[in-house]
Structure 1
C-alpha cells in the first residue's frame, strides 16, 4: 500500500483576474521510503502541491490520504497533531531563529512534547551529530555557513522522527559543492528509511532521488517536460 495518496486534487485561488487554478485533478501515489522529486519550472504548482502534501494548505477538491488517514477531514487540533507526528519541513531560506543557538533551533519542534528539557536537549544534540554539526551546537545561525544552516534546518525537521520530510528547493541558494553534500545527507537519511519529497527545478538533483514527477501549469506528469 502507498504511504501517500493524492486523489483528484484541485487547488483554486482567487486572484485579481478571477479564479486561478493552481493544480488540476492531480493523482499521485508515493511509497514509504521513496526519495521523490517534484520537478518543474517556477510557478508550475510545485510548492502549492508540497504545502498540500504537508497538511498546510487544504485542496479546493479531492483528498490527501497519508497512512490511511484522510488528512483534511481531521479537525484542526487533530490536524496539528498529525503534522507534528508525521511531517518535517526544510525550507529554502532555513527559517532559523537568529538569536537561538543551533541546538535551541533544533529543539523548537519538541517544545510541545511531554519530554523533559534534558531529554529534548539530548535528542537535539543527537540529530545535530547525525548531520555532522555536533561540535557546533552552541553557535548562532550567523556563525554558521549557508550549508551548515541548512543542516541545522534538516536536523530540526527530523528531530521529532517524522515519517516524511518535505524540502522546498533546499539546494536553491547553495553552491554546487555544498548542494552535493546536502543531497548526500538526504540520501543517507532516505537509506535509513525516511520518506523524502523534494521540490526542485534543478535537473542535476535528479541523480540523487529514486523517482521524479513533473509539474507544469498545475498539471502532473510522470514524464519530463522540456523546461
Structure 2
C-alpha cells in the first residue's frame, strides 16, 4: 500500500548566477513498511529531496502525498501539526540539548501534546528502554558515547509514534561497530512496521534496507536489488 507519493516534484533556487535546478521531475512511491535508502554523491540533491519528503521544504512545483494528504496544500499551521503527527527526524549531528538529560531530550516532542507530565516521562522512558538506554536516562549527552547519543536521537524521533522516520546520514560520523548497531536498531524498528527513509552515501548500508534509489544531478533512479 502506497504511503508516500511524489508526483513531478521540482526544486529550483535562484541566485546571482541564475536558476539552479536542484531536483528535476522527481516521481517516487514508497509503501508502508519499507526501509528505503536514498543514495547519491555530495550535491546530488538527496538532502533537498529528504527535506521536501519530510514537509520542511516546499517544492517549486509538483505534489507530495502522504497517507492521502496533499502535504504542501496544507496551511502553514496545519503543516506544522502534520509534521509533528506523522514524521520523526534523525540527524547526523544528533542535535541533542546539552543541558538536558537523555530522558528530557526524548520528551521534547511531547511538550506540545496533551499528555500529562508523568505520562510524557513514561513514554520517553519506554522508548529509551526500546533502544537499549533504559538505565542511562538521567545522563547528560556528554556522559554518553556517540552511539548512545545517536540512540537518544532515535528515541526522540519515535517517541510520538510517527508514521515515517527520516534519517539524514545517521551513520556518517560513526565507527563501523556503532554504525552496525544503529542499523540493527533501524532494522528492528522497520520490522515492527515503521517506515524509514535514510539518506546515505555508504554502499555497505544497502545490506540493511528493503529498497534503494539513487539521485544524481537532481534526477532519481531505482537501484536494482
Q: TM-score interval w.r.t. the shorter chain?
A: over 0.9
Post-superposition offset of 1:18 = 1.4
Map of 1:3-42 to 2, 5 A cutoff?
3-42=3-42
Which residue in 2 is equivalent to 1:167? 167
**Cα distance, 1:23 vs. partner?**
0.3
Which residue number in structure 1 is paired with residue 73 of structure 2?
A: 73
- SS of 1:3 mapped into structure 2: strand
State the SS of the aligned residue for 1:177. Answer: helix
Post-superposition, which runs of at least 4 consecutive aligned residues in structure 1 deviate over 6 A?
A: none
> Partner residue of 1:100?
100
Once the 2 structures are TM-superposed, how far is the Cα of residue 73 of structure 1 from its aligned partner? Answer: 0.1
- The answer for the alignment partner of 1:139 in structure 2 is 139
Distance in 2 (alpha carbons) for counterparts of 1:6 and 1:71: 10
CA drift of 1:175 comes to 0.1
Query: In the alignment, which residue of structure 1 is the partner of 2:119?
Result: 119
Give 1:136 deviation, angstroms.
0.3
SS in 1 for 2:83: helix
**Counterpart-to-counterpart distance in 2, 1:35 and 1:41:** 20
CA offset digits 1:91-140 (Å, max 9, x no partner)? 00000000000000000000000110000000000000000000000000
Return the alpha-carbon distance in structure 2 between the equivalents of residues 10 and 75 of structure 1.
Answer: 20
Structure 1 unaligned residues grouped into runs of 5+: none
Q: Give the aligned partner of residue 208 of structure 1.
A: 208
| Aligned twin of 1:155 | 155
Q: Normalising by structure 2, what TM-score? A: 0.98
Distance in 1 (alpha carbons) for counterparts of 2:127 and 2:17:
47
CA distance in 1, matches of 2:181, 2:66: 30
TM normalised by structure 1 equals 0.98
